[in-house]
Amino acid sequence: MPIYTTLKSTAHSDYDADYSWWDRTTGVLRLNQAFTADAPLSHPTADPGYTLYAVFNAAVDNTYVRASADTRIGVGIYAKQSGLPSGDWDWLYGVHTVSADVSGTVGTPTVRYYLVHTQTSRGFSIISDMTTESAAPSDTDFTGGASVFLSWARPLQFGVTGYDVYRWDQLDTFTDTDVNTGTDKITLTGHTLANDDKITLIAGAGALPSPLVENLTYYVVNAGVNDIQLSLTEGGAAIDLTTTGAAVTHSVAGNGVKLRTIETGLSSMRDNNSTIATDIVFPSFDYVGLRAFTATARNVISALAVNGVSSGWDTLPFAIKIPANFNKGSMNDTQINQQWMRIKLFGADATTNRLDYRVTDVVSGVGGSLYYTSPGGGFTADLVGLTCTVSSKFGTFDALVSGYTDPTEILLGIGGEWNGSDNYTGGITMTFTGGAPSGAIHIDLAHLSYGPNAVFAFHPDDLSQDRGTPPVAPNGSTQGGTTVVTGNGDGTIFGNQCVDVHEMVTVTDGAGAIFQIEAGEVEAEHYLFNHDKRITQTAAIAYSSAMIYRMETENGFYADTSDTHKYLTAPDDMHGTPLRAMSEGDAVLTSVDGESVMTTVSRIYPIGQGVVAQFELPQDRRFLCGRWNDGVCRKWGGIASHNKREDPDIIIVS
């Protein structure tokens, strides 16, 4: 198969800056949110049931670019296909059915519907197609020992975190003749529904009355003896029915229950009428059915290498699972049934298609000045007109950027100055919503293969006379073969994950005693304590000078660290998020009296230059640091941290 197809065409050099595009100057792909980059495959390479491996190098444009923890890069195989539930163009699609096998004696066959909701660590969730079991056991049959064995396909090669399994009962049916578009009523003769009951609709072999859809919870309103109206909210306005739908039989499903949540890796269960939740609302989801698509895990992009600063770019591998029941004959693109590798940036917090921008070395003038300076030259003309969040130890406020002088000075609008005693001449951080440069995510050496360890090489088109040899990405990857990024992310001492030497660190003496000491007092062979009640031994400590930032949490902790220090944002967070990529309101994990507690960040602000310590932790690299705001150091407390180095590093995402 041809695995080195390039997009570097001279016709691709004049895209609008809001799009994703190939940069002819550096030879890299530059991504913006909401716009994809698509590489056509020479022929329909993806076959049902196989896994394709996409690999490329990536970095952010500069040190000021701020990607949130939930910013992700997604990769998949895209094509024009017939019979899709969402239109003609989509990721390669396969029906996602739940196999239901009834066992035991069924005296009263009952129509029940089953659905599996797949949770992933990739920024999206998937639901199966609704599966109908027409001869399921009744409640009485379940009591007598009958059951239904359920099984389903695993939607992703990597990244599935669990499954929620749901069931509904068929309560009634209706056809187009039962729908009155004048009164917005559906006739259900002798129904047993009451106002505020939750139902979902199962379409027959045709369209539901418009605008009704499947896979959504509706609420019964204005229930009559033989008819009902539907609303999107409990007790809300009735939905205006504009069509009667197809002349087929549709089903009304209710009594929704959650049977089980599975987090063990199993993709099967037995329904014996045991439930963990009743009267459920239909789960929210991103995709129906199987898709040839995956994405990075949380915190990968927020900690991405920095172009021109990091010693190498990060390597991002993706395992794209092609649905086993993908119908290759459904592809109907007139251009040789073409498939495309599509790359997209999604999940960023910014309301624009660009990432946020953060400058941390800001100084304001004395006396309530609206002018702010960045000695490092972090400002750009593109920031004018954007909303800016200004933070320091005095507090936080929002203002519009009204003027730009040069990279070292900008002007905020009225209300953008520190008032009264809040005049401040240093230690300010400014975050600009959507202020990152266009194409702030750089990608190079993208290649696709059936093998997980394929190496990049030139496609002949890269060397054609009208294109020329692509340039080498600055301080990134070479265009000629293997990547330059090395290292194993082993948390060694050279990664600048630093804690103020006066900050408290939770340690144990190995004999059961748990206590806190200052980071500067930690010695090699000390055992650090983490949020999971585990210990990790310190191998070495290094010291350096850095700007210190304080992070405060809603549940009363604070910690003083460098802005490169990584905090954990969830119990299963294996990477951590550097402080420079975090904002007020972000989630963070703490430990209170030995129990993991999720909370949110209440404030982040600089407090001045200081000495920091970094621990080399060769085993479990998580540890607790920080203290309570009242000054009391509790032996079982702290903010969950991670010493995994940022630079250089290979980030494994799939």
Average pLDDT score over residue span 98-124: 96
pLDDT given for residue 9 in this prediction = 53
pLDDT given for residue 651 in this prediction = 34
Least confident residue range of 31-40, 83-92, 240-249, 459-468: 459-468
Of 584 and 239, the structure prediction assigns the larger pLDDT to 239
pLDDT given for residue 471 in this prediction = 44
Least confident residue range of 68-82, 218-232, 356-370, 588-602: 356-370
Of 352 and 640, the structure prediction assigns the larger pLDDT to 640
Identity of the amino acid at 443 = I
User: Given CA atoms 47, 53, 56, 58 in this order, what sign does their dihedral have?
Assistant: positive
- CATH class, range 10-83+295-349+440-463: mainly beta
pLDDT given for residue 489 in this prediction = 27
Reported as a pLDDT band with limits 50, 70 and 90, residue 6 is: very low
Mean pLDDT of the chain: 83
pLDDT tens for residues 469-480?
444 443 333 333
Average pLDDT score over residue span 325-332: 80
- What's the first-to-final CA gap in the chain, in angstroms? 22
pLDDT tens for residues 153-202?
999 988 999 999 999 999 999 999 999 999 999 999 999 999 999 999 99
pLDDT tens for residues 500-545?
888 888 887 766 677 888 888 888 777 887 777 677 788 788 887 7
pLDDT given for residue 353 in this prediction = 82
Identity of the highest mean pLDDT range in 46-55, 160-169, 485-494, 617-626:
160-169
**The model's pTM:** 0.76
pLDDT given for residue 564 in this prediction = 84
For 356-432, CATH gives: 2.40.30
- Concatenating the DSSP letter of every residue in 349-404 gives S-SSSS-EEEEEEEEE-TTT-SEEE-TT----GGGTTSEEEEEETTEEEEEEEEEE
For 499-642, CATH gives: 2.170.16.10
CB-CB contact of 525 with 616 (8 Å): no
Identity of the highest mean pLDDT range in 29-43, 174-188, 326-340, 405-419:
174-188
pLDDT given for residue 350 in this prediction = 56
Cis omega before residue 48 (within 30°)? no
Return the closest-CA partner of residue 91 out of 275, 321, 306.
321
pLDDT given for residue 447 in this prediction = 84
Question: Cα–Cα–Cα angle for 287, 230, 252, nearest 5°?
Answer: 65
Of 203 and 544, the structure prediction assigns the larger pLDDT to 203
State the virtual CA torsion across 221, 225, 226, 232 in degrees, nearest 10: 10
User: CATH topology of 10-83+295-349+440-463 equal to that of 356-432?
Assistant: no
| Domain residue limits, the chain | 10-83+295-349+440-463, 96-288, 356-432, 499-642
Least confident residue range of 131-135, 484-488, 537-541: 484-488
Residues 6+ positions from 459 with CB-CB distance below 8 Å: 2, 4, 5, 6
Average pLDDT score over residue span 276-288: 95
Q: In whole angstroms, what is the distance from residue 109 CA to residue 141 CA?
A: 9
Q: Write the CA distances from 410 to 25, 413, 644, integer angstroms.
A: 29, 10, 36
Reported as a pLDDT band with limits 50, 70 and 90, residue 488 is: very low
Average pLDDT score over residue span 47-63: 91
Average pLDDT score over residue span 266-295: 95
CB-CB contact of 238 with 222 (8 Å): yes
pLDDT given for residue 467 in this prediction = 45
- Concatenating the DSSP letter of every residue in 20-33 gives -EEETTTTEEEEBB
Q: In whole angstroms, what is the distance from residue 293 CA to residue 138 CA?
A: 38
Question: Cα–Cα–Cα angle for 447, 451, 456, nearest 5°?
Answer: 30
Q: In whole angstroms, what is the distance from residue 520 CA to residue 542 CA?
A: 10
pLDDT given for residue 458 in this prediction = 57
| β 356-364/339-346 pair status | unpaired
pLDDT tens for residues 592-612?
877 888 899 988 888 877 888
Residues 6+ positions from 183 with CB-CB distance below 8 Å: none
Reported as a pLDDT band with limits 50, 70 and 90, residue 637 is: confident
pLDDT given for residue 420 in this prediction = 42
Identity of the highest mean pLDDT range in 135-139, 456-460, 527-531:
135-139
Reported as a pLDDT band with limits 50, 70 and 90, residue 137 is: very high
Identity of the highest mean pLDDT range in 65-69, 148-152, 396-400:
148-152
pLDDT given for residue 270 in this prediction = 97
What phi-psi label fits residue 286: left (phi over 0), alpha (psi between -120 and 50 degrees) or beta? alpha
